[in-house]
Amino acid sequence: MKKPKIVVLGAGYGGIMTTVHLQKKLGTNDAEITLVNKNDYHYETTWLHEVSAGTLHHDRSRFPVKSLINTGKVNFVKDTVMDINTAEKRVILENSELEYDYLVVGLGYESETFGIKGLKEYAFSIANINAARQIREHIDYVFATYNNEPVKRDELLTIVVGGAGFTGIEFVGELANRVPQLCKEFDIPREKVRIICVEAAPTALPGFDPELVEYAVTQLERKGVEFKIGTAIKECTEEGILVEKDDQVEEIKSATVVWAAGVRGSHIIEKAGFENNRCRVKVSNSLLAPGHEDVFIVGDCSFMINPENDRPYPPTAQVAMQQGETCAENIARLIRGEKELKEFKADLKGTVCSLGHDDAIGVVYGRKLFGSSASFMKKVVDNRSLFLQGGVGLVLKKGKFNFF
């Protein structure tokens, strides 16, 4: 009998966890499993704010896909997905095509700029590992340029971060730690440097516990971060940004604008014709795309309501990894001819937001944490993610052990 073909797109958290569990659940005679990713490495997206700020080398946050999978059971294809033809059950890659019987889409997120003029052209975004490397290199470059021009331009030392959500706060936390090193390296007085975090909502970290938000803002302000809360970015230009608060428009000149205020799913979702909202597909409880019995969607390309609070699950690595496990179980059931699929139910353990490597805030199992205990917990979470993907070996190789 012909073996069913399973194709997994994306070797991020959702794709890797699906693949790792598929290879455990299915034997080589049960199915042919193929994993496609545009790079031959997986990167820890949740560490990209550190790579962007230059506090973590990019090689620490990535590792070969083949070191995570059993290549005796899974065929790895390094290629870029260009389109999906669900009618013909084919995936169009840049260099070839693949047929599937079951498809898993885990192509992750892209930056969402909400139509704000100039952001796409002039702002950086922590979109992937190469974008993170570019931000780090750019910041080094503008600091190096400052003392090498006849007329000093303060905008070279002004870094604007759009968004005081999770990613924005984690990034400014790392930046605040990196800036003193940069000042020393390039002979720049610390007081010349501005890190400005702009947030349109009436608070930083909307949705987080207010006491923890206050702690985070105070700690970051102590390290020199300026917050502009309730302030909307209206436009980004070559010279900086225009912001608006209470009908007053202000220009902030800056050579470095990093947009960290919104994500959407991969554009491939829209291109392939899935019903979507901002390239995210409202999947069934068993993670199937609407109208499809053979296409599963996991991670940031998916959208699901948490029945416990009637609110959407946040697009997080935690959810993506757990979806990967359920998705693998459901494909294994379909291949075994079972009719009943497993319903996805997230086991949300909590959230920890770092404020640099030495400080953090979080709520874990309902308990509020801040300072060194939260920072310790953040590293435990990071190491656990490595363990789930690649076992003890990966934790020992790439884990974070600088606990204090």
Please report, as ranges, the residues that interact with ligand FAD according to CB under 6 A: 10-15, 36-39, 42, 45-46, 48-49, 80-81, 106-109, 126, 128, 167, 170, 266, 268, 299-300, 315-318, 320
Beta carbon of residue 299, minimum distance to ligand FAD (angstroms, whole number): 2
Beta carbon of residue 36, minimum distance to ligand FAD (angstroms, whole number): 6
Given the complex with ligand FAD, which of 228 and 379 has the nearer CB atom?
379
The string of DSSP codes covering 168-224 is: HHHHHHHHHHHHHHHHHHTT--GGG-EEEEEESSSSSSTTS-HHHHHHHHHHHHHTT
Instruction: Output the 3-class SS for 61-72.
Output: HEEEHHHCCCCC
Given the complex with ligand FAD, which of 37 and 375 has the nearer CB atom?
37
Given the complex with ligand FAD, which of 243 and 281 has the nearer CB atom?
281
Given the complex with ligand FAD, which of 156 and 315 has the nearer CB atom?
315
363 in Cβ contact with 212 (< 8 Å): yes
170 classed as catalytic: yes
> Which run of H or E residues covers position 361?
strand 360-364
Given the complex with ligand FAD, which of 266 and 326 has the nearer CB atom?
266
Q: What are the angstrom distances between the C-alpha of 329 and each of 17, 36, 159, 193?
A: 11, 20, 45, 51
Cβ burial, residue 26 (10 Å; 0-12/13-18/19+): buried
The C-alpha atoms of residue 214 and residue 203 are separated, in whole angstroms, by 9
Beta carbon of residue 29, minimum distance to ligand FAD (angstroms, whole number): 28
Among candidate residues 170, 174, 325, 329, the one labeled active-site is 170
The C-alpha atoms of residue 159 and residue 257 are separated, in whole angstroms, by 6
122 in Cβ contact with 138 (< 8 Å): no
The residue sitting closest to ligand FAD, measured at its beta carbon, is 12
Residues 6+ apart with CB under 8 A from 401: 379
Beta carbon of residue 287, minimum distance to ligand FAD (angstroms, whole number): 12
Beta carbon of residue 1, minimum distance to ligand FAD (angstroms, whole number): 30
The C-alpha atoms of residue 190 and residue 152 are separated, in whole angstroms, by 15
Instruction: Name the residues annotated as catalytic.
Output: 170
